[in-house]
Structure 1
Amino acid sequence: MPDDELMPIGVFARRTGLTASALRFYADSGFLRPAHVDPVSGYRYYGADQVTRAAALRRLREIGMPLTAVETALDAEPDDAARLIDEHVAKVCEDAAAVRRKAASLTSSLTAVPSLPIAVVQGPVLADAVEQVLTATARKPDIPVLGALRVEATPEAVTLTATDRYRLATRTLVPAEAVSATWAGTVDGDQLRAVTQEIRRSALVRAEATPHALRLRTADREDRHCRLLPEEFPDYRLMLASLPEATTRVTVSKALLLRALEEHPGERITLAATRHGLHVVPAAEPTSAGVPVTATVTGQDLRISFELTTLYPAVSTAIGPDLLLDLRGPDQPGTIRSADRGDLTTLAMPTEPDRTPSARTARTS
């Protein structure tokens, strides 16, 4: 390679994002040898054709891939390299989940206060409820409760609630066994999500509260601990109590509405409800007739718009074949629930069809 095509180690480091010391280590280890080493000065030089490999090496190390696996991935065909990366990420996630479980268990064991039995529920029912309600969460490191699940237990019911400010989902479960305690806490949503498969395979789950965790106990499996968050959960009951009466009610098949939403090409949709039925209209094309969906509409005619990412999860997790949409106007939350079961209710915040998501944030925050 001609000398004018070579880069000294400092220039190559800036081009690739690797430090000079890292390049020396990778050269000495055989992962990335320089194209030329001056026999007199010992200066190392790299070629332009090495930039891609060096940048890939850096990125693989940034995701924590071991050096032996990095070397294999760098020399593999693209499909094999992608598989190796996926396998590494899966192991990292599995290890992280195990660490979180052990940390929650350790934190709980460090307190001398005994756990408080708060509920006994059917495992499959609890797992479904957790997954349904957690669709109304969002990962915001600065507001951790928006990714959490509020658990409220009384002798008569266990209520699960979550909200990301644009959706609110709440479901009430009937305990399988009577427990006299009354308790409320905010539970880490990611840790609950990670244990749902184990919960689903258990006939009964006994929930116990400690000062720092919710302990989930089953007959034939290891106890699972989910961290409690100290931050205050939003006063969702006050919000529900302050909602005005619905002015438009739509009874619609869940399957038909989902199909219309899935076929919709845009990010935002408008529901046009009239006495003739329901139409799903592209928000960017307000004059379009849209897709007709067989429905029964009572009350006032209404056009209301939603982000697809807000409305679709609320519809897809609803219980039962038929849904009730209680709508209160184009700027009020709409309620989505089963037409014949009231134990899961979701509120979805509408948007204006010409508003961007950032503008909607400013309007509803």
Structure 2
Amino acid sequence: MTDPELMSIGAFAKLAGLTASALRFYDDADVLRPEQVDPLTGYRFYSESQLVRASQLRRLREIGMPLPDIARFFTVSAQDAARLIDDQVAKVAAEAIGVQRTAAALKASLGEGACLNLCVLPGPVLATAVDQVLATTVRDAEVPVLGGVRLEADPDAISLTTTDRYRLATRTLVPSRPSAASWAGTLAGDDLQATTSRLRRTLMVTLEAGERTLGFRMVDGAVMHCRLLTEGFPDYRLLIGSLPAATHRVTVDKQQILKALEQQAPEKVGLRVAGGRPTVLLPGSTVDLDGTATGPDLTLWFELTTLYPALSHALGSDLMVDLRGPDQPATIRSANDGDLTTLVMPCRDPAP
């Protein structure tokens, strides 16, 4: 006899947010077997305790997880199950990026009228510049333009600029051939990142601006397209122009300060200026840096996740850091080459 506490397939399907046909399919696939099957009628019956698994199954299918992985999900530990979810999300995200790139190429193939040839740049140099500024982008569903890269061209230079509200990076390149005209647009960061491996392998690349995309034409004639974002990019020139004059200037060896941060990887890092010498403050220790410092005694703190990328992507072996106090951005650039400039905001003193 059927247990009276069991539910019919129709009642269970309604509670689980699935269809009866889906439940039959999952039974046949051995990922959600009914609690009981009537031997005479073949009717399937389910228990209330199976609702949790049914709900998980429905959500796993919503993120596109294949049935073999779903079967594993219900047999492994919670940690491994979480890893399966993360792997599936990464796969879906990668597929979405691929679809966006393909769509951009298709739109470009429809014809945007005459493209504007902006300039010619060495591929490896452009790829490195993209890597340097992309560290200052962020994924923000409310402000998607913060994941973009502002590209501005004029006859003498090409500049790439990014910001995530707490940092700002701008990289200037001198084209091999002067820009034919002034132009500005905001490139989708994901699309731009996808071009870097190909850019590194091409000697020269021509930038071609269209109505909806920016094309990167390789020496073999192949073109990679990067979508242009329509949202307005933050007015970074206003931010830079409104900065007060620096009160302190610190010049240090890049590798020494990076090594100090890598050995402990603290959540927050202190930079102290005292007696004309710079010092890094770490949990339980201090590191005297080889370098110079101007200005009165001062200690500022930075989040490691904000400071380290700015330091590591800086050009050259020496860094110049201009400080303006605890409530103003610090400017980080190469002591010998100011083509890459990064602004980073200090954080609160971690001391109680």
Per the TM superposition, whether the score is higher than 0.5 is yes
In structure 1, runs of 5+ residues without a counterpart are 356-365
Displacement after TM superposition at 1:173 (Å): 0.4
Q: Deviations over 1:284-335 (max 9, x none)?
A: x7xx663333331122221112122111111111111110111111111100
Q: Residues 86 and 202 from structure 1, CA distance in 2 versus in 1: closer, same or farther, beyond 3 angstroms?
A: farther
Aligned position for 1:301: 297
2:350 is the counterpart of 1:335: no
8 Å contact 2:34–2:44 — kept in the other structure? no
Q: Percent identity?
A: 52
| Distance (Å, rounded) in 1 between the aligned partners of 2:93 and 2:100 | 10
Aligned pairs (5 A) from 1:174-323: 174-220=174-220, 222-264=222-264, 266-275=266-275, 277-282=277-282, 290-323=286-319
Gaps of 5+ in 2: none
> 1:72: how far off?
6.5
Q: Using the TM superposition, give the Cα deviation of residue 117 of structure 1 relative to its aligned residue in structure 2, in angstroms.
A: 0.6
Query: Quick one: distance in 1 between partners of 2:112 and 2:209?
Result: 13
Correspondence 1:52-67 to 2 at 5 A: 57-67=57-67
Q: What is the rounded CA distance, in whole Å, between the counterparts of 1:5 and 1:258 in structure 2? A: 65
Identify the residue that residue 361 of structure 1 maps to in structure 2: none
Which whole-Å CA distance do the structure 1 matches of 2:285 and 2:173 have between them? Answer: 41
Q: Aligned partners of 1:261, 1:55: CA distance in 2, in Å?
A: 45
1:24-35 mapped onto 2 (5 Å cutoff): 24-35=24-35
1:111-154 per-residue CA deviation (whole Å, 9 max, x = no partner) reads 54211011211111101101110111111122121111000011
User: Given that residues 268 and 350 in structure 2 are in contact (C-alpha distance below 8 angstroms), is that contact kept between their aligned partners in structure 1?
Assistant: no
1:19 equivalent in structure 2: 18
Q: Which residue of 2 aligns with 1:44?
A: 45
- Would you say the 8 A contact 2:119–2:207 is kept in 1? yes
Alpha carbons 1:187, 1:228 under 8 Å: kept: yes
Alignment check: 8 A CA contact 2:157 2:178 kept: no
In 2 relative to 1, CA 269–76 (structure 1 residues): closer, same or farther, beyond 3 Å?
A: closer
Residues 277 and 291 of structure 2 are in contact (CA less than 8 Å); yes or no, is this contact kept in structure 1? yes
Instruction: Note the C-alpha offset of 1:261.
Output: 2.0
Q: For residues 210 and 112 of structure 2, what CA distance do their matches in structure 1 show?
A: 10
Give the residue type in structure 2 aligned to 1:45. Answer: Y
1:66-145 correspondence runs (5 A)? 66-67=66-67, 70-71=70-71, 92-145=92-145
- One-letter amino acid of the counterpart of residue 167, structure 1: R
Change (3 A) 1:331 1:85: closer
- Measured at CA, do residues 273 and 165 of structure 1 come closer, stay the same or move farther in structure 2, by a change above 3 Å? same
Query: Helix, strand or coil: the match of 2:237?
Result: helix
Deviation at 1:106, TM superposition (A): 2.3
Distance apart, 1:60 and its partner CA? 3.8
Deviation sequence 1:69-105 (CA, Å, 0-9, x none): 5447767899998998787666545533332122112
Alignment check: 8 A CA contact 2:6 2:45 kept? no
* Counterpart for residue 320 of structure 2: 324
Residue 154 in structure 1 maps to residue 154 in structure 2: yes
Matching residue of 2:344? 348
The residue type paired with residue 312 of structure 1 is Y
Q: Under a length normalisation based on structure 1, what TM-score does the superposition of the two structures give?
A: 0.83
Secondary structure, aligned partner of 2:135: helix
Partner SS, residue 105 of structure 1: helix
- Aligned residue pair count: 348
When the two chains are superposed, the root-mean-square deviation of aligned CA atoms in Å is 3.4
In 1, are the aligned partners of 2:150 and 2:160 still within 8 Å (CA)?
yes
Structure 1 residues 178-237: Cα deviation after superposition (integer angstroms, max 9, x where no partner): 232110111111110111111111111111111111111102263111111111111111
Contact kept in structure 1, 2:153 and 2:179, CA below 8 Å:
no
> C-alpha displacement at 1:268, in angstroms?
2.3
The change in CA–CA distance for 1:118 and 1:249 in structure 2 (over 3 A counts) is same
- Deviations along 1:150-190, whole A, 9 cap, x unmatched? 00011211000001111000000010122321101111111
For 1:8 and 1:256, how far apart are their aligned partners in 2? 69
Q: How much has 1:37 moved relative to structure 2?
A: 2.1
- 1:169 maps to which residue? 169
Shift of 1:66: 2.9
Moved more, 25-34 or 130-139: 25-34
AA aligned to 2:100 is R
Q: How big is the shift at 1:45?
A: 2.2
1:68 Cα deviation (Å)? Answer: 5.0
Question: For the residues of structure 1 that align with 2:180 and 2:322, how far apart are their CA atoms?
Answer: 35
CA distance in 1, matches of 2:134, 2:159: 13
Structure 2 residue aligned with 1:360: none
Cα distance in 2 between the residues matched to 1:109 and 1:157: 29
CA contact (8 A) 1:65 1:88 kept: yes
